[in-house]
Amino acid sequence: MFSKIQRRNKIKARIRGRISGTAARPRMTVFRSNKQIYVQLVDDLAGKTLVSASSKGIAEGNKSEIAAKVGESIAKKALEAGISEVVFDRNGYLFHGRVKSLADAARNGGLKF
């Protein structure tokens, strides 16, 4: 029997085996803790984080609304950096709730997955 963390790591390894980020199309990876949500645009070939955003300092709204604000923020920063297409990495989390609201807000902000 796997624990939650072992199960997520197994799913995460399977996803990361299939996708990779480049400078032209970076990997948009999401990390979700109990209180915060973080997102980064990563160039895996160079091993660098190009743009990042988090929910630190955003206090108004429920968790899904805060995740949507983070999605808008990462889209704005990415477009300013000249990035319009990304590969979405849900990092082993299910695509619903906060992860989905972040992704939808990033799409509405102008990013293409």
Q: What pLDDT is recorded for position 42?
A: 96
Q: What is the enclosing helix (H) or strand (E) of 11?
A: helix 4-18
Give a yes or no: residue 81 inside a domain. yes
Q: What pLDDT is recorded for position 59?
A: 85
Stretch 84-102: mean pLDDT: 95
- 7, 21, 37, 50, 90 from 13: Cα distances, Å: 10, 15, 20, 22, 11
We report the CATH number of the domain holding residue 73 as 3.30.420.100
Give a yes or no: residue 21 inside a domain. yes
Give a yes or no: residue 45 inside a domain. yes
Q: What is the extent of the structural domain holding 45?
A: 4-108
Judge contact between 98 and 63, C-beta under 8 A.
yes
Stretch 77-86: mean pLDDT: 96
Stretch 41-48: mean pLDDT: 94
Q: What pLDDT is recorded for position 2?
A: 82
Give a yes or no: residue 27 inside a domain. yes
Stretch 33-47: mean pLDDT: 95
Stretch 12-25: mean pLDDT: 91
The count of structural domains within the chain is 1
Q: Kindly report the number of other CB atoms within 10 A of residue 80's CB atom.
A: 9
Q: What is the pTM of this model?
A: 0.90
**Which one has a higher pLDDT value, 59 or 82?**
82
Give a yes or no: residue 113 inside a domain. no
Judge contact between 3 and 38, C-beta under 8 A.
no
Distance from C-alpha of 101 to C-alpha of 71, rounded to nearest angstrom: 8
